[in-house]
Amino acid sequence: MALIVQKYGGTSVGSTERIRDVARRIARFRREGHQLVVVVSAMSGETNRLLALARDLSPDPDPRELDVVAATGEQVTIGLLAIALHSMGLKARSYTGAQVRILTDSAFTKARILAIDEANMRADLDAGCIVIVAGFQGVDGEGNITTLGRGGSDTSGVALAAALHADECQIYTDVDGVYTTDPRIVPEARRLARLTFEEMLEMSSLGSKVLQIRSVEFAGKYRVKLRVLSSFEDPEATSSGTLITFEEDDVMEQAIISGIAFNRDEAKISVMGVEDRPGIAYAILGPVAATNIDVDMIVQNIGASGHTDFSFTVNRTEYEQAMEVLLRERGTAFKAREIIGDNRICKVSVVGIGMRSHVGLASKMFKTLADEGINIQMISTSEIKISVVIDEKYLELAVRMLHRAFELEKEPVPSTA
Amino acid sequence: MALIVQKYGGTSVGSTERIRDVARRIARFRREGHQLVVVVSAMSGETNRLLALARDLSPDPDPRELDVVAATGEQVTIGLLAIALHSMGLKARSYTGAQVRILTDSAFTKARILAIDEANMRADLDAGCIVIVAGFQGVDGEGNITTLGRGGSDTSGVALAAALHADECQIYTDVDGVYTTDPRIVPEARRLARLTFEEMLEMSSLGSKVLQIRSVEFAGKYRVKLRVLSSFEDPEATSSGTLITFEEDDVMEQAIISGIAFNRDEAKISVMGVEDRPGIAYAILGPVAATNIDVDMIVQNIGASGHTDFSFTVNRTEYEQAMEVLLRERGTAFKAREIIGDNRICKVSVVGIGMRSHVGLASKMFKTLADEGINIQMISTSEIKISVVIDEKYLELAVRMLHRAFELEKEPVPSTA
């Protein structure tokens, strides 16, 4: 008997028929003797419908009140799922974030979880009751309803698993695991049986939208075993999905490269011919950060004759605003010969924990792209990934060629360590 | 400056455009210097949509979980209205039933209010903030979400007005007040400027669906001045609607008859030739009540030769079930020559506080119906009303003729008392 936290996303509970499927899956786990805490999102489309109503009333809705509205989406689902389970003769009890209580700070629309009271849930579990919790939401110290921001239900699931010391946190979604890359681009893409948290962090932050990045960080911090599974399979089928583990040794298949991630939501800005002096990076990026624009990759070349070029990427939706800020600050905060922007770029990354102990991977990546005549505009590396910025139009070609070059379609040979 | 509780029903907040109208109306009252607590229902259609989802999962959904689902309807509206008010530069703060807190018993789907904590609302009002409260809902002693049952938002409004000792509780709906009868049947029907609680109780329980009957009882008990107004008039217009008052002297216009109420949702059951002995009424109605079927009118004639006939009305939706119960119990709980049911009847009532001091009204009513050849099947009277059961097909004719006979289309002459 294990204590399992399961999280079902919006498409998994998108209709009463789908909710019934989820109930059947829960019933199977219950029959197998497991204790279950189930976290659910709003029915797909519901959160958008609610936010559209709010935006119809104000272009900039009050965040406290926006959370009051948005939190109803998950509240509907917990009640419906409990009703479905009751009708199958199972004991179940729903909790809103406030009822649990999932205490958060007061940063409405993007609150962070501070503490979880497990007393009620524990009593229910001990009584053989399935606990159903509204994802995405909590309550602050003053009793105000808060939400964790988009995708926050994953974080709710992981946080509950951590608080309850669950054996596993299962994230059910519309894919059956994490793939070596997007199968829509590379049909040979292969599902990974296991992946480390560090790899998953790189994969998800780079655009593999299987899991919300904060939930992965959370899982890593509290050493919660995460498993990604499909809710679209037969509820009676036993699938293993992809296990995301904090134990590097758990990763039996010692592939050097785990996958190819990519992101086409970015834009590149280059500030050319700036003074090569201490503080220049802050002079350029300070005003951008002050406008609450997130900067992703940052590259600065070695300068010549006291000048240097400085490039960075921002989210494409914030590109125009970032350009405005820089053009406004140019001449005061910093001097620059030219500011060039390009919002038709993409980022492609090769990710793998094995990279730590293997050399020559970067040059293999660069050669693969060069062979296809794809120009690399920016390069950035970390211990377990290499990212390049290229013209957006080459995205699919680059991902396909890299997937092939690193032979990701093949099952890795088990390590003999 | 007055403290006013306003309640807006589902059609009044049925779209974001309508919510904006409500916000404009609130803004006007705020400009006039009043303190405001606003109670809102779910957007029209929303509660039905939510209940349909639940029923799709179970023909008999768990009541606790049904309330979790249903309560979201009002929660959406409070957030949206607060957003609309904020966007107009007004201070406003929303509260769910649990946040206020409106403490109820644990009778899910039909909970009763036990206590209201006014501390938070009072602090907000003192700070110049408009308080917005979700109608129809509360929370029990264990923190479970409860709902007050259909139309419960009126009760929420009155209960808040009572707790806060508000100067007036304004119920905004899709009609601009209480009429002498349904204007769809009698175009000359006239809006009443004032009405006593007792009259309103008779009018609403008899099918004038302007106000939920429990809210009127509540208002009478706590001496809350109720005013029924239309939310469909220009938000800047000042209308007086119908004031429902506990002061009989407030009713300046001393009409003898206030209105003609009617109800076509009933069915009649006659148990003929039962023993005329003590306990026979209980023997017949006990099993019906035990099945949770509400009985409305009850009539027993004087018996002859030790037998009597016993008639009563039930809601038409419960007619079949009531007949089943009686046919099952016949021969054991009681003996009867015959049980006759008729679900094509209606009840028509003449209501008026002046009836107390005037005689001859009943015979005027009976003569009016007789002149039209309408047969009276049952008669029941109270201090301020006379009700008759007639064939459903005569409903409109009877109401029109009674309205004319009592000259309700004419403004009453102010009393010279």
Nearest to A58 among B57, B83, B145 (CB): B83
Q: Are A17 and B58 a contacting pair, CB within 8 Å? A: no
Q: State the smallest CA–CA distance between residue B167 and chain A in angstroms.
A: 28
Tell me if A65 and B94 make a contact (CB, 8 A cut-off). Answer: yes
**Model confidence pLDDT, tens digit, residues A242-300:** 998 876 655 455 668 899 999 988 999 999 999 888 888 888 988 998 888 888 888 88
Nearest to A79 among B19, B20, B66 (CB): B66
Handedness of CA B77, B82, B83, B85 (dihedral sign): positive
Tell me if A20 and B96 make a contact (CB, 8 A cut-off). Answer: no
Q: What's chain B's length in residues?
A: 417
Nearest to B61 among A20, A69, A83 (CB): A83
Q: State the smallest CA–CA distance between residue A64 and chain B in angstroms.
A: 8
Instruction: Find the closest chain A residue to B99 by CA distance.
Output: A143
Tell me, letter by letter, the H, E, C secondary structure of chain B. Answer: CCEEEEEECCHHHCCHHHHHHHHHHHHHHHHCCCEEEEEECCCCCHHHHHHHHHHHHCCCCCHHHHHHHHCHHHHHHHHHHHHHHHHCCCCEEEECHHHHCEEECCCCCCCCEEEECCHHHHHHHHCCCEEEEECCEEECCCCCEEECCCCHHHHHHHHHHHHCCCCEEEEEECCCCCECCCCCCCCCCCECCEEEHHHHHHHHHCCCCCCCHHHHHHHHHCCCCEEEEECCCCCCCCCCCEEEECCHHHCCCCCCCCEEEEECCEEEEEEEEEECCCCHHHHHHHHHHHCCCCEEEEEECCCECCEEEEEEEEEHHHHHHHHHHHHHHECCCECCCEEEEECCEEEEEEECHHHHHCCCHHHHHHHHHHHCCCCCCEEEEECCEEEEEEEHHHHHHHHHHHHHHCCCCCCCCCCCC
How far is residue A124's CA from residue B375's CA, in Å, rounded to a whole number?
61
Taking chain B (417 residues) in runs of 10, the rounded mean pLDDT of each run is 94 96 96 96 95 96 97 98 97 98 95 95 97 97 92 91 95 87 91 88 69 82 90 79 76 72 92 86 88 86 80 93 94 91 94 81 90 91 89 96 94 60
Q: State the smallest CA–CA distance between residue B60 and chain A in angstroms.
A: 8
**Model confidence pLDDT, tens digit, residues A73-84:** 999 999 999 999
Question: Tell me, what's the pLDDT at B207?
Answer: 55
How far is residue B284's CA from residue A262's CA, in Å, rounded to a whole number?
76
Tell me if B50 and A76 make a contact (CB, 8 A cut-off). Answer: yes
Q: Model-level pTM?
A: 0.79
Chain A residue numbers with beta carbons less than 8 Å from the beta carbon of B84 are 57-58
A145 reaches B (C-beta below 8 A): yes
Portion of chain A with pLDDT greater than 70, in percent? 95
Tell me if A83 and B62 make a contact (CB, 8 A cut-off). Answer: yes
Q: Are B244 and B224 a contacting pair, CB within 8 Å? A: no
With 0-12 CB in 10 A as exposed, 13-18 as middle and 19+ as buried, what is B119?
Answer: exposed
Chain B residue numbers with beta carbons less than 8 Å from the beta carbon of A65 are 78-80, 82-83, 86, 94
Tell me if A54 and B143 make a contact (CB, 8 A cut-off). Answer: no
| Residue A386 reports pLDDT greater than 70 | yes
Long-range contacts of B235-241 (CB under 8 A, 24+ apart): B235/B21, B235/B22, B235/B24, B235/B25, B235/B27, B235/B28, B236/B24, B236/B28, B239/B176, B240/B193, B241/B170, B241/B176, B241/B177, B241/B191
Q: Chain A neighbours among B 7-36 (CB < 8 Å)?
A: 16, 19-20
Question: Tell me, what's the pLDDT at A414?
Answer: 58
Name the residue with higher pLDDT: A99 or B244: A99
Question: Tell me, what's the pLDDT at B249?
Answer: 58
**Among all chains, which residue has been given the structure tokens 């390069």?**
A379
Q: What's chain A's length in residues?
A: 417
**Which one is the CATH code of A3-249: 3.30.70.3040, 3.20.170.30, 3.40.1160.10, 3.30.499.10?**
3.40.1160.10
Question: Tell me, what's the pLDDT at A96?
Answer: 98
Question: Tell me, what's the pLDDT at A218?
Answer: 84
Chain A residue numbers with beta carbons less than 8 Å from the beta carbon of B87 are 57-58, 60-61
How far is residue B96's CA from residue A145's CA, in Å, rounded to a whole number?
10
Question: Tell me, what's the pLDDT at B36?
Answer: 98
Q: State the smallest CA–CA distance between residue A257 and chain B in angstroms.
A: 46
Tell me if A57 and B98 make a contact (CB, 8 A cut-off). Answer: no
A376 reaches B (C-beta below 8 A): no
Chain B residue numbers with beta carbons less than 8 Å from the beta carbon of A66 are 79, 83
**Model confidence pLDDT, tens digit, residues A302-338:** 767 788 888 999 999 999 999 999 999 998 889 999 9
- HSE value, Cβ hemisphere, 13 Å, CA-based, for A278: 0
Instruction: Find the closest chain A residue to B68 by CA distance.
Output: A79
Q: State the smallest CA–CA distance between residue B96 and chain A in angstroms.
A: 9
Nearest to B83 among A65, A76, A84 (CB): A65
Q: Chain A neighbours among B 206-235 (CB < 8 Å)?
A: none
Residue A74: alpha-carbon gap to chain centroid: 19
Tell me if B19 and A76 make a contact (CB, 8 A cut-off). Answer: no
Question: Tell me, what's the pLDDT at B417?
Answer: 42
**Among all chains, which residue has been given the structure tokens 């306003």?**
B6
Tell me if A83 and B69 make a contact (CB, 8 A cut-off). Answer: yes
Q: State the smallest CA–CA distance between residue B27 and chain A in angstroms.
A: 15
For chain A, what are the domain ranges?
3-249
**Model confidence pLDDT, tens digit, residues A60-73:** 999 999 999 999 99
Tell me if B16 and A57 make a contact (CB, 8 A cut-off). Answer: yes
Chain B residue numbers with beta carbons less than 8 Å from the beta carbon of A143 are 99
Whose CA is closest to B270, among B305, B299, B306? B299
Question: Tell me, what's the pLDDT at A205?
Answer: 61
Question: Tell me, what's the pLDDT at A253?
Answer: 52
Tell me if B75 and A69 make a contact (CB, 8 A cut-off). Answer: yes
A185-A264-A205 Cα angle (round to 5): 95
B96 reaches A (C-beta below 8 A): yes
Question: Tell me, what's the pLDDT at A416?
Answer: 47
Which of A20, A26, A62, A93 to mutate to test binding with chain B, by most B CBs within 10 Å of its CB?
A62
Tell me if A82 and B99 make a contact (CB, 8 A cut-off). Answer: no
Instruction: Find the closest chain A residue to B144 by CA distance.
Output: A99
**Model confidence pLDDT, tens digit, residues A147-190:** 997 668 999 999 999 999 999 999 998 888 888 998 889 999 99
Tell me if A57 and B99 make a contact (CB, 8 A cut-off). Answer: no
Q: Are B76 and B47 a contacting pair, CB within 8 Å? A: no
